[in-house]
Amino acid sequence: MAIEHIISTPGHPSIYQCEQRELKLYFCEPDQGVNKETGLLLLIPGFGANSSSKVYRKMRSAFADNYNLVTIQCDYFGNDFMQDNIYPIKLTTDFNKISNVLARDELMQIYNSQNRTINLQNMAKYDINIEGYAQLSETLANFNDMGIMQALDNISAVLIVIAILRDNKLTFNSKKVILYGHSHGAYLAYLCNALAPNLFTFLIDNSAWLFPAYLKGIRGYILNIGKFTLIIKFEYLANKEYLYDEELLDLVLLYKQFLNQCVIICYHGNTDKLISHKDKKTFGESVNNFIYNEISNNNIDGEIFKSTNHGLDADFLKLFDYTMNKYIINDTNISTHSEPCFIDLPTVTLKTQKHNYIVDYSNGVPILNLS
C-alpha cells in the first residue's frame, strides 16, 4: 500500500498582501519504492473538493501503486473558500416566506434574526426553497484568487517533492510528470503548464474553462437537505475587487506566448454550459500537442462518463485509468533515467498590458516578480 507523507513548508508570499505563508503538502510514494521509472502526478481539485476529500485520498494512494507514481497534492491559496456548505449563510429570501411555513417557536430554534442565518440541520422536514449568500472570511492574505497564486502553490508542491527525492538520492522519470484536474482544477493545470513550460509532460483535462467563470459571475450551489433546498451564492473577493489581470488568466491569450511541449489530453462535454465545447475545440486547434475528446451522448457509458455536462459526471479514477492506458503508458517519448533527475527550469516571462510577469526558478521554487 502506498506510503503517504504530509508536510508543511513555506509557501509563496501572497502577491496581494506581502506576508509569509505556510503550504501544506500531501504526497504518496509507491509501495514498491521510487525508482528510475517512477513518474510524478499532480492532482488539482476544483470547487467543492480538496486534499482531504475521500476521492482524492483514494486517488493519491491508488495511482501511486497502480502506475508507479509519486502522487502530489496541496492545500493551495484560497482553496478553503471553494468548498460547498461549511460557511454561515446570510439569507436573502423574504422572511415572510419562511414565517408562512414555520410556526414561531420553530423559527426561534432555527433562525437567528440578528445576522439572518439559519440552522440547516433543523430544516430537512420543511418543503421550502430559500436563497442566501455564503459569508466568506476572505482577506488579501488568503482568498480564492482563481489564478496566479493558486498555480504558484501547485508548481511549488511539485518542485518541493522533487527536491525531497533529490535529497534522498532517489531517481525518477522526468519524462512522466503528469497534471490531472477537473473543472477549475484543470484550468489551473493549464496555468501551471504556462508558468513552468519545461516541467510537465502530460496534462489530463476534464472540462477546464478558458477563463475562470466565477471571476465575472456569481457562483451558485444548490444544497438539498431532505425536503429543504438552499441555494447558496458565493461572491468572491477577487470578483468584487477586480483583483486579477484578465489577459494573464485568459488561456487563449496566454498560450499564444509560448510553444506548448506538454501533451494535453482534453475531455469536454458538448452540453457544457460553463464553457462552450466549440470554444474549447477552437482553442485546442491553436495549441501544439493538444488531443481533443468531445463527449456526446454516444460516449455516455455509465461508468467513466455519465453526462455531457460540465464535469461529465465522470468517475475520476476510471477516467485516469482510461487515459493512462490509451495515451500515456505506451508513449514512446517516455524515457527512463539511471541518474537522479534534475529538472532545470528557466526564468519565464509572460507579458500583458498591465505587467510583465517574471517567474524565477533559480532558488528551486517559483518566485514571481512584476514589472
pLDDT band at 127 (very low <50, low <70, confident <90, very high): confident
User: 56 with 152, same domain?
Assistant: yes
User: 102 with 191, same domain?
Assistant: no
Domain count, the chain: 2
Confidence (pLDDT) at 336: 61
234 occurs within a structural domain: yes
User: 10 with 112, same domain?
Assistant: no
**pTM for the structure as a whole:** 0.93
Confidence (pLDDT) at 368: 95
User: 147 with 286, same domain?
Assistant: yes
User: 112 with 161, same domain?
Assistant: no
Q: Mean pLDDT throughout 74-98?
A: 82
Confidence (pLDDT) at 276: 96
User: 205 with 157, same domain?
Assistant: yes
Lowest mean pLDDT among 21-30, 78-87, 201-210, 286-295: 78-87
User: 156 with 296, same domain?
Assistant: yes
Q: Residues 6 or more apart from 283 whose CB is under 8 A from it? A: 210, 251, 252, 255
pLDDT over 80 (residue 121): no
User: 8 with 116, same domain?
Assistant: no
366 occurs within a structural domain: no
User: 337 with 281, same domain?
Assistant: yes
367 occurs within a structural domain: no
pLDDT over 60 (residue 339): no
**Which grid coordinates are listed for 18?**
506581502
User: 131 with 254, same domain?
Assistant: no
| More confident position, 123 or 334 | 334
- Distance of alpha carbon 92 from alpha carbon 73, whole angstroms: 36
- Residue found by looking up cell 513552468 in the block: 196
273 occurs within a structural domain: yes
User: 33 with 150, same domain?
Assistant: yes
Q: Transcribe 298-361 into DSSP letters.
A: GG--SSS---SSTTTT--HHHHHHHHIIIIITT-TT----SS-----PPPEEEE-SS-EEEEE-
| More confident position, 174 or 92 | 174
Q: Residues 6 or more apart from 114 whose CB is under 8 A from it? A: none
- Distance of alpha carbon 120 from alpha carbon 24, whole angstroms: 31
> What is the CATH classification number for the domain harbouring 331?
3.40.50.1820
369 occurs within a structural domain: no
Confidence (pLDDT) at 79: 96
Dihedral of CA 270/272/276/280: which sign?
negative
368 occurs within a structural domain: no
Nearest Cα neighbor of 191 from 297, 364, 46 is 46
Q: Mean pLDDT throughout 25-50?
A: 96
User: 129 with 271, same domain?
Assistant: no
| More confident position, 118 or 76 | 76
- Distance of alpha carbon 63 from alpha carbon 50, whole angstroms: 17
Indicate the SS3 state at residue 125.
coil
Residue span of the structural domain in which 102 resides: 88-135+219-240
272 occurs within a structural domain: yes
Q: Mean pLDDT throughout 165-176?
A: 93
355 occurs within a structural domain: no
pLDDT over 70 (residue 107): no
Contact 343, 303 (CB under 8 A): no
Q: Mean pLDDT throughout 220-225?
A: 86
Q: In this predicted model, what pLDDT tens digit does every residue of 279-317 receive, in sequence order?
A: 999 999 999 999 999 999 999 999 999 999 999 999 999
Confidence (pLDDT) at 18: 80
